[in-house]
């Protein structure tokens, strides 16, 4: 009855299965046993035929295109379907008048429907594999982005720290050459000139370096290399024009800005020369940072500071030691060092661009020739730079508020002499600020790295990727700033003596300890500001600036009356803290930042930073009992011992806990195993 060439593939005897009357009639009409049993056991096929009787072929074709399926009449398929067998469906009447060929056509249709039935499982497997592969690639991109952020931050941190250390260390020989009699007055004069200069410099650069960095990153990500070159040229011309205009204004308005202090006028005239060319330096820096060449930018920053310090010390020696002028002349020439340093920085960047010319050149095979008109491009840059220049000037504006309010408040509400007030201002505005900015420079380095990377992530439109990078930037900030700030507070006394001597030691050390904590607020503001700029939330940065300035103005007078020289520092800390609360809340509303993932590493960093302070401070205090306050070399040794001790404590904690893997990945585990820490 059954064809010998088509023996059933089942291990079970076919006649053990119950056959209905209709199935027996089909066998008598010439159908093979395999065909009849296929109808009986393939319940899923029957269901598919019942649901979509008009289009089984199209479904089958779709399934065949996705995955290759073996012969449906092989045993392996019936094994999978036997669990879904339904006798009622199998007992449905068959058309006994059909010929064997017709029944074979029906079997073929049912077989194709079978393929459609099986296809979703196969497709889901394929889709699952694709999704896993995409997730793996996404994770690799995020890890690569984190690695680039870490590497870029490392370069910018090295450059920033090296330049800041030079900018702080020069004080030791500079103060020695100026002399103890005039050193405080020279510091105060230097600070008054530089704070006004900082505001004009921000106006001259107009936030364009950050805009340039972000636009270069965006257009480069889209492979619009002609637009990259267009942005670069436009920003250079705009920067040069702004430099000429703003430098001229600073030179002309110097007598008015000096508030009647005749010695401030020549200082501002000298600084106007630096304002003339620094915008070009800033544009070049923003350009190379947009390509994430942080090493070139960091090197230019270091060379700029090195040339500046060499000029300052050389001219101060020539004036004070060789007898070619007085302390005012030495201070004026010291400020002029910014001009020569900027020239050196420009030269380094141009050399770096020439060396990397293949990267900066337009790709000859580029097909995207979209180039915006110069006017439209400048308009876009201006719109984006205005919020950046305003928000980026927050620290300088706060310092200018201190300069223009502190003297008036102290004269009106205290009995201190003008000399005492001037010394107080020099201590919190220049002396402590120089050392605090060493720590803040770490955050500035991270912000310069995070800005172009967030701009690239934003172009993808994936908020999860942006949130990941925001979280990593905040972790990296806390990882560096918390131990650095508490470490500075722990070695405040020997650090102050090392740089400024033992003059007015108690007040100077107290102010430096409080000023150290402003570094956390200022540093976090710089990074959060860069994040907001990177994700394109520029308008909110202006609102943020308004909040900070309003809180600062409200608190400035009462806190200065109450705490004297510490009052402006406390007003600054509170003002930036309030602004940061609003900024973090804004980011949390726009992006799915996982604070649960951030809480453990942040608490670990805070715990070990406090432990660092509790160990270093008593050790440093004990060592100071054995040295004289006049010995700078001895206090240098104490600072080094305290710094190394703090580094060892925090480093061991990082490698011993999961914090190392959290921040540096498997490299931390490899280092821990090499040092036999784990």
pLDDT in tens, 43-55: 444 554 555 444 4
Query: Do 206 and 304 sit in the same domain of this protein?
Result: yes
Query: Do 307 and 243 sit in the same domain of this protein?
Result: yes
Using alpha carbons, list the distances in angstroms from residue 621 to 287, 435, 624. 47, 19, 5
pLDDT number for residue 569: 92
Number of domains in the chain: 2
pLDDT number for residue 16: 43
The Cα–Cα gap between 72 and 382 comes to 68
Query: Do 184 and 293 sit in the same domain of this protein?
Result: yes
**Which residue matches tokens 């006649």?**
15
The Cα–Cα gap between 553 and 537 comes to 25
At residue 451, what are phi and psi to the nearest 5 degrees?
Answer: -60, -55
Neighbours of 578 (CB within 10 A): 18
Residue-range definition of the domain harbouring residue 111: 4-132
The pLDDT tens digits of the residues spanning 54-112 come to 444 444 444 334 444 444 444 444 444 444 444 444 444 444 444 444 545 554 545 44
Token duo for residue 574: 């509170």
The verdict on residue 637 lying in a domain is no
The pLDDT tens digits of the residues spanning 393-404 come to 788 889 889 988
The Cα–Cα gap between 169 and 584 comes to 36
Query: Do 202 and 321 sit in the same domain of this protein?
Result: yes
Query: Do 123 and 225 sit in the same domain of this protein?
Result: no
The pLDDT tens digits of the residues spanning 342-362 come to 999 999 998 888 887 665 554
At residue 291, what are phi and psi to the nearest 5 degrees?
Answer: -85, 0
pLDDT number for residue 135: 54
Model confidence band, residue 287 (pLDDT cutoffs 50, 70, 90): confident
- Position with higher pLDDT, 614 vs 123: 614
The verdict on residue 394 lying in a domain is no
For residues 84, 89, 90 and 92, what is the CA-based torsion angle, rounded to 10 degrees?
A: -170
pLDDT number for residue 404: 87
Query: Do 108 and 200 sit in the same domain of this protein?
Result: no
The Cα–Cα gap between 384 and 390 comes to 11
The pLDDT tens digits of the residues spanning 516-544 come to 888 888 888 888 888 887 777 878 888 88
Domain boundary among 334, 364, 394: 364
Mean pLDDT across 506-515: 87
Query: Do 180 and 260 sit in the same domain of this protein?
Result: yes
Query: Do 221 and 358 sit in the same domain of this protein?
Result: yes
pTM, to two decimals = 0.62
Mean pLDDT across 308-335: 90
Query: Do 193 and 300 sit in the same domain of this protein?
Result: yes
- Tell me if 410 sits within 8 A of 121, measured CB to CB: no
- Tell me if 543 sits within 8 A of 585, measured CB to CB: no
The Cα–Cα gap between 293 and 286 comes to 10
Lowest pLDDT segment from 121-125, 336-340, 399-403, 580-584: 121-125
Query: Do 323 and 241 sit in the same domain of this protein?
Result: yes
């Amino acid at each position: 009855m059954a064809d010998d060439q088509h023996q059933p593939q089942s291990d079970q005897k076919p006649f053990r299965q119950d056959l209905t009357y209709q199935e027996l009639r089909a066998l008598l009409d010439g159908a093979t046993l395999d065909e009849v049993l296929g109808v009986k056991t393939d319940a899923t096929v029957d269901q598919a035929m019942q649901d979509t009787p008009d289009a089984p072929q199209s479904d089958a074709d779709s399934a065949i295109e996705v995955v290759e399926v073996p012969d449906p009449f092989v045993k392996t398929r019936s094994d999978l379907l036997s669990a879904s067998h339904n006798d009622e469906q199998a007992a449905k009447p068959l058309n006994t008048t059909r010929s064997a060929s017709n029944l074979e056509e029906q079997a073929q249709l049912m077989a194709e429907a079978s393929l459609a039935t099986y296809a979703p499982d196969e497709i889901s497997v394929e889709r699952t594999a694709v999704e896993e592969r995409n997730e793996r690639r996404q994770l690799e991109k995020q890890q690569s982005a984190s690695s680039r952020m870490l590497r870029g931050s490392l370069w910018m941190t090295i450059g920033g720290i090296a330049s800041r250390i030079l900018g702080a260390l020069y004080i030791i020989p500079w103060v020695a050459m100026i002399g103890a009699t005039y050193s405080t007055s020279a510091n105060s004069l230097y600070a008054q000139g530089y704070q006004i200069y900082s505001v004009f410099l921000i106006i001259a650069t107009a936030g364009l370096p950050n805009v340039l960095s972000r636009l270069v990153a965006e257009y480069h990500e889209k492979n619009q290399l002609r637009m990259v070159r267009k942005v670069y040229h436009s920003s250079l011309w705009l920067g040069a024009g702004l430099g000429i205009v703003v430098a001229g204004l600073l030179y002309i308005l110097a007598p008015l800005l000096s508030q009647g202090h005749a010695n401030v006028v020549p200082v501002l005239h000298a600084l106007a020369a630096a304002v003339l060319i620094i915008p070009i330096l800033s544009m070049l820096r923003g350009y190379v940072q947009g390509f994430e060449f942080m090493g070139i930018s960091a090197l230019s920053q270091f060379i700029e500071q090195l040339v500046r310090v060499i000029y300052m010390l050389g001219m101060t020696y020539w004036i004070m030691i060789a007898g070619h002028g007085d302390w005012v002349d030495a201070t004026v020439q010291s400020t002029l060092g910014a001009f020569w340093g900027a020239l050196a920085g420009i030269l380094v960047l141009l050399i770096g661009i020439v060396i990397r010319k293949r990267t900066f050149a337009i790709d000859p095979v580029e097909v995207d020739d979209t180039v915006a008109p110069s006017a439209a491009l400048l308009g876009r840059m201006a719109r984006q730079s205005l919020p950046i220049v305003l928000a980026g000037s927050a620290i300088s504006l706060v310092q200018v508020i201190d300069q223009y309010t502190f003297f008036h408040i102290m004269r009106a509400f205290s009995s201190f002499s003008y000399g005492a007030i001037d010394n107080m201002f020099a201590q919190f505005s220049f002396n402590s600020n120089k050392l605090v900015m060493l720590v803040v420079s770490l955050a500035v380095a991270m912000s310069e790295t995070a800005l172009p990377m967030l701009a690239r992530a934003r172009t993808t439109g994936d908020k999860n990727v942006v949130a990941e990078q925001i979280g990593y930037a905040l972790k990296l900030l806390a990882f560096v700033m918390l131990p650095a700030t508490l470490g500075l507070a722990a070695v405040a006394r020997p650090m102050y003596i090392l740089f400024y001597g033992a003059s007015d030691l108690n007040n100077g050390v107290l102010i430096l300890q409080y000023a150290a904590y402003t570094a956390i607020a200022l540093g976090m503001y710089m990074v959060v500001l860069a994040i907001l700029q990177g994700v394109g939330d520029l308008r909110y940065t202006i609102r943020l600036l308004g909040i900070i300035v309003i809180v600062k103005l409200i608190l400035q007078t009462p806190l200065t009356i109450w705490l004297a020289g510490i009052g402006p520092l406390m007003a600054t800390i509170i003002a930036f803290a309030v602004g940061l609360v609003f900024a973090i809340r804004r980011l949390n509303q726009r992006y799915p930042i996982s604070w649960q993932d951030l809480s453990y590493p942040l608490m670990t960093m805070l715990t070990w930073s406090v432990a660092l302070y509790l160990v270093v401070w008593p050790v440093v205090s004990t060592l100071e009992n054995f040295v004289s306050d006049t010995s700078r070399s001895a206090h240098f040794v104490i600072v080094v011992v305290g710094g190394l001790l703090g580094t060892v404590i925090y480093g061991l904690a990082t490698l011993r806990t999961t914090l190392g893997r959290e921040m540096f990945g498997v490299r931390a585990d490899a280092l821990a195993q090499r040092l036999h820490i784990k």
